Amino acid sequence: MTATNKQVRRYWVMKSEPSAFSIDDLKKQRKTSWDGIRNYQVRNLIRDEISVGDIALFYHSSSDSIGVAGEMEVISQAYADLTQFNKKDSHFDPKSSKDDPTWLCLDVKFIEKYNQIILLKDIKSLPVMKDSRLVSRGNRLSVFEISKEQYEAVKALAEVG
DNA sequence: GCCAACGTTGGC
DNA sequence: GCCAACGTTGGC
**What are the domain boundaries of chain A?**
11-153
* Residue A5 confidence (pLDDT) above 70: no
* Residue A44 confidence (pLDDT) above 70: yes
* Residue A89 confidence (pLDDT) above 90: no
Class of domain A11-153: alpha beta
Residue A161's pLDDT is 60
Residue A17's pLDDT is 95
Residue A59's pLDDT is 97
CB-to-strand B under 7 Å, chain A 87-146: 120-121, 137, 139-142
From A52, A61, A47, A48, select the one nearest A14 (Cα to Cα). A61
Task: Give, in Å, how far the C1' of C11 lies from the CA of A77.
Answer: 39
Residue A94's pLDDT is 86
* Residue A43 confidence (pLDDT) above 90: yes
